[in-house]
């Protein structure tokens, strides 16, 4: 079954989003898709890295940057 998630049109005018490099924007949207499948949570770096076709180190760099920019939140042992 296909799962939909809400994506706000205001992202077009959000400086946090629009200042992302194209590859980082792609990674962010793909992480949103993964989180939508998991109840809004990104838990396992190993599985998430595989889904994005990147190394775990590259994924950690991506996630750290998105957290720093306020586009992902770290909550206990996972990201939302």
Tell me the pLDDT tens digit for each residue of 7-41. Answer: 888 989 999 999 999 999 999 999 999 999 888 89
Backbone phi, then psi, for 79, in 5-degree steps?
Answer: -120, 150
Measured between alpha carbons, how far is 42 from 78 in angstroms, rounded to an integer?
6
pTM over 0.85: yes
Q: Is 79 helix (H, G, I), strand (E, B) or coil?
A: strand
Measured between alpha carbons, how far is 18 from 39 in angstroms, rounded to an integer?
25
Q: Span 36-53, mean pLDDT?
A: 91
Q: How far is CA 57 from the centre of its chain?
A: 15
């Amino acid at each position: 079954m296909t799962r939909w998630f809400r994506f706000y049109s205001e992202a077009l005018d959000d400086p946090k989003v629009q200042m992302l490099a194209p590859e980082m924007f792609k990674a962010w949207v793909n992480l949103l898709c993964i989180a939508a499948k998991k109840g809004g949570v990104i838990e396992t770096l190993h599985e998430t890295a595989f889904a994005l076709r990147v190394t775990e180190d590259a994924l950690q760099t991506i996630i750290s940057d998105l957290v720093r920019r306020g586009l992902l939140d770290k909550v206990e042992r996972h990201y939302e």
